[in-house]
Amino acid sequence: MQLHDLKSQFKKEDKKRVGRGGKRGTTSGRGTKGQKSRSGHRIRPAERDLIQRLPKLRGFQNKPLREKDLIVNVGDLEKKIKGNSIDREILIKSKIIRNFDKNKKIKILGNGDLNRSFEIRGLKISKNARKKIEAAGGKIN
């Protein structure tokens, strides 16, 4: 038996780890003592903390001046409406417009074909849609 074969009866403690999180050991480039050498010494701007707590809408947001109109195409009127008169209530009943959108502005656009005549009351209409409705024999009030 030799000296290096002997085992200690007690558990050996690990060495104290020094200066973690940097290069060159002991103080990891923080200098020696003082407030700046301790953990958590950096001072953050308060505004940045407040902004980061908000949901992710950061930076400049330009809100629209008014809501966009709900769009209904002439082709949709042809398919989904059975009668020949159209106004806001009829569009809601025929489920072209959802009930919670009933207070928004509605505009009829000229996308699609139109073979039937409609009488339209109280809605905005584009030039192209106006041409198609009048060509099919419809009226606009």
- 117 versus 66: the higher-pLDDT residue is 117
Measured CA to CA, the distance from residue 77 to residue 115 in angstroms comes to 10
Q: Which helix (H) or strand (E) holds 86?
A: strand 85-86
| 21 or 131, which is more confident | 131
What separation in angstroms does the CA of 140 have from each of 71, 73, 110, 136? 17, 15, 14, 12
Share the mean pLDDT of the chain.
Answer: 86
CATH architecture of 70-140: Ribosomal Protein L15; Chain: K; domain 2 (3.100)
Smallest Cα–Cα separation from 87: which of 102, 69, 75? 102
Q: Which of the four pLDDT bands, split at 50, 70 and 90, describes residue 60?
A: confident
pLDDT of residue 55: 78
**CA-CA distance, 132 to 8, in Å (whole number)?**
99
